[in-house]
A and B are shown apart, each in its own frame.
Chain A
Amino acid sequence: MIRTFYDEMYDAGGVVRPHYREFARWLADTPEELLAQRRREADLLFHRAGITFTLYGDEQGTERLIPFDTIPRSIPASEWRVVERGCIQRVKALNMFLADLYHDQRIIKAGIVPAEQVLANEQYQLAMQGLNLHRDIYSHISGVDLVRDGDGSYYVLEDNLRTPSGVSYMLEDRKMMMRLFPELFAAQRIAPIDHYPSLLLDTLKSSSPIDNPSVVVLTPGRFNSAFFEHAFLAREMGVELVEGADLFVRDDRVFMRTTDGPKAVDVIYRRLDDAYLDPLAFNPESMLGVPGLLAAYRSGNVILANAIGTGVADDKSVYPYVTDMIRFYLDEEPILKNVPTWQCRKPEELSHVLAHLPELVVKETQGSGGYGMLVGPAASAAEIENFRARLKARPHAYIAQPTLSLSTCPTFVENGIAPRHIDLRPFVLAGRETRVVPGGLTRVALREGSLVVNSSQGGGTKDTWVVED
């Protein structure tokens, strides 16, 4: 099977696309040795600054660098505006879906989303039923994962409404590019993104009805894979970075322990999963959470961003219904496409999936991070048979999608420059208004032919430019 890939920099005839012309000229004019030297400099700077992540399953908890590629991913501004509107539309609909789900459930009554798909979902939180949230916002910070198929059109691969990460790499990659190649930013107009932390703080503050609320970032601690990002965002926003043990609840109010006695907390940007938030309400084994937090939350005395129970809306089994949600709540046509999805819980769709396994991508409905998925075209016969057995045993736990081509972008590899597959995660902030900083995080699969961009699976990142055309 021959698949065609859409390349971000070159069109089908091998000619540089207009929004990349300036960069291509610069690349041709810059001596290879200088580029190599700058790449080494970038590695050194990232290492020294400790911009690292921790890999799970690695006994020593070694901190690793995420490989950074110095060839940017560039998007023309006119194209970006469509993506931006599409992401905002999607997040609005998803927030309305969550509000509906935890109140009247109109969408279920209308027969659009089957009740068992959401109410029996592990991510559905009974504790949220009937609770009114300020501005009806559940997902304050969302990451929408996009890819481009062979014809160049954008598809949403998944919505991340729990604790999407990666925004610190987006910001650090830009800082690094500006430090290494300032001339590139002088030659053309590239939309700035450094104001993300201030937009985030504004979003968090506006999530509370209180004037000038006290905001904190809640981290599982420094052994978490994204600790760097938690610390980074807290520092950039100028708020406290707290761990569960730093907080306590008294009379349904949340306080932090300070050198000057207890201080009230109004908004918690939590980077901790629902299950660990409150050992009294959820996982009793959790040492990371705050006993009594749920009670304080339900009393309306503290805001959690994101809210509890958002996972039910970004679950892969609910994903196929998002386009219908947009039509149902907003009465608009979806701007961004969904990838066609077979739900293996449906017998007729399961039999189709089983018959076409070598062509499909199969994912666990609850999985994330690129763990537990099958990429049919890249898999061995044994891996396919293994998945066939798993599918038959627990069909409801899987969905399948056609293998998308995923666009490519020129990338530095061992022997010069070669195309590698990429995706895009814009970060959507929902508060007083819904906003997206231009671009997002571009992840790149560094292994030739690989379609898995997750950093836990050897993916790297690129700076993402929105260029005025």
Chain B
Amino acid sequence: MLSRTASDLYWMSRYLERAENLARMLDVSYSLSLMPQDGRGDGLDEMAMPLLITGTLDDYLERHGKLHAERLLHFFALDASNPASIYSCLGAARASAHAVRGRITADMWENINSTWLEIRGIAEQGLGRYGLSRFCEWIKERSHLFRGASYGTIMRNDAFRFIRLGTFIERADNTLRLVDARYEMLGDEAELVDENSARSYYQWSALLRALSSFEAYTEIYRDAPSAHNVAELLLLRADVPRSLRACTEEIDQILASLPGLNGRPAQRLAAELDARLRYTGIGEILDEGLHAWLTEFIPKVAELGNAIHSSYLEAV
């Protein structure tokens, strides 16, 4: 497959996954911001979380000065001049799809194209009228639809592999950041042994819901969410589809199945990351300190992304 084509397919699905993750982030922050708050009680700290996680808070402050719920939502969701907004991600995904529309099926193309046409309509009427929860649901739904159309129609060839590669790299990074952010938000409370505070309960369960893992959690642990269990579930369980381990396992397998020898550096790195998670217990991670461990892992995923780039997407 052409390197440029592979690159467009990879980025198409990365941007789409990113849009979905942003919507998930926004949804959880919005619902938490409606809870009775400590301190100021306006929920703005919570609302600023998605900006903090995506590293766009400074950008926002530069443009809008101070935190303001409505402006913040618009900036994050629909602002075309913010390259990290959900709107811009969908635009970028659609542009990549457009460039390779010959390599994706008509079902996939029509799906992503009509998503793009629709969000432009939503941007025109504004988030206030459309409704934030409805908007987040809609984004998730469109992403599910696209994935369904992909799995249901595209041939199992390298195009399919690069599409999935993009999804899992993006998702791995997102899961790491979300866990880290929630952990940070809880501060000292996260370290409490009994962890029975209402705040910790809502923080962790919101995170689980954002990653569609609440049902999995209750089924496995039959207990109120705790840092120990949530971290284990979202980092180490291979059977939870949005967990870090599930992502590295997929990436490892996909890379191993790609033809050619030029991918060796990326293949080696993916296998290392996957093995590391497979043979690590949550106790070891917590002993090292969750934040320290996550901070060390995030750049490794980025490094893997770079290796994929230089091995396949810019190959000579």
Contacts and interface: CB of A to CB of B under 8 A. Distances in A.
Interface of A: 47-50, 221-222, 231-232, 234-235, 240-243, 245-246, 248, 256-262
A50 B109 CA distance: 9
- Tell me if A's interface is mostly helix, strand, loop or mixed: mixed
A259 B99 contact: no
Interface string B151-179: 00000001000100000000000000000
B11 to A, nearest CB: 14
Interface residues on B, range: 20 to 34
Given A48-B114, A259-B158, A259-B258, A243 B4 contact: yes
Given A48-B110, A49-B110, A232-B102, A257 B1 contact: no
A259 B102 contact: no
Most buried by A among B4, B113, B263: B4
Contacts of A222: 95, 98-99
Interface in B88-132: 95, 98-103, 106, 109-110, 113-114, 117
Top-4 shortest CB links A-B? A235-B102, A260-B260, A231-B102, A259-B312
B113 A50 contact: yes
Contact of A49 (B3, B95, B109, B259): B109
B205 interface: no
Contact of A258 (B2, B100, B110, B114): B2
Contacts of B193: none
18 contacts: A221-B99, A222-B95, A234-B102, A240-B2, A242-B4, A243-B4, A246-B2, A248-B316, A257-B4, A258-B2, A258-B3, A259-B258, A259-B259, A259-B262, A259-B263, A259-B312, A260-B1, A260-B259
Most buried by B among A246, A248, A259: A259
A246 B4 contact: yes
A231 B104 CA distance: 11
A105 B216 CA distance: 80
Contacts of B3: 246, 257-259
Nearest to B3: A257
A43 B304 CA distance: 44
B67 interface: no
Nearest to A239: B102
Nearest to A241: B102
A245 B316 CA distance: 11
Nearest to A259: B312
Contacts of B113: 48-50
Nearest to A231: B102
B114 A261 contact: no
B15 to A, nearest CB: 16
Interface in B275-316: 312-313, 315-316
Contact of B101 (A48, A50, A240, A261): A50
- Tell me if B's interface is mostly helix, strand, loop or mixed: helix
Contact of B103 (A235, A243, A257, A258): A235
Contacts of A240: 2, 5
A261 B106 CA distance: 28
B23 interface: no
A342 B46 CA distance: 77
Contacts of B109: 49-50
A107 B243 CA distance: 74
A234 B313 CA distance: 21
Interface in B184-210: none
A415 to B, nearest CB: 29
Contacts of B262: 259-261
A262 B1 CA distance: 10
Nearest to B260: A260
B5 to A, nearest CB: 7
B121 to A, nearest CB: 12
Contacts of B5: 240-241
Contacts of A235: 101-103
Nearest to B6: A259
A240 B2 CA distance: 8
Most buried by A among B2, B99, B103, B262: B2
A48 B117 contact: yes
Contacts of B103: 235, 241
A170 to B, nearest CB: 18
A231 B109 CA distance: 12
B312 to A, nearest CB: 4
A259 B315 contact: yes
Contacts of A245: 4
A194 to B, nearest CB: 15
Contact of B98 (A48, A50, A242): A50
A262 to B, nearest CB: 8
Nearest to B102: A235
Given A50-B109, A50-B113, A259 B1 contact: yes
Contacts of B315: 257-259, 261
A247 to B, nearest CB: 10
Contacts of B316: 248, 257, 262
Contacts of A47: 117
Contacts of A48: 110, 113-114, 117
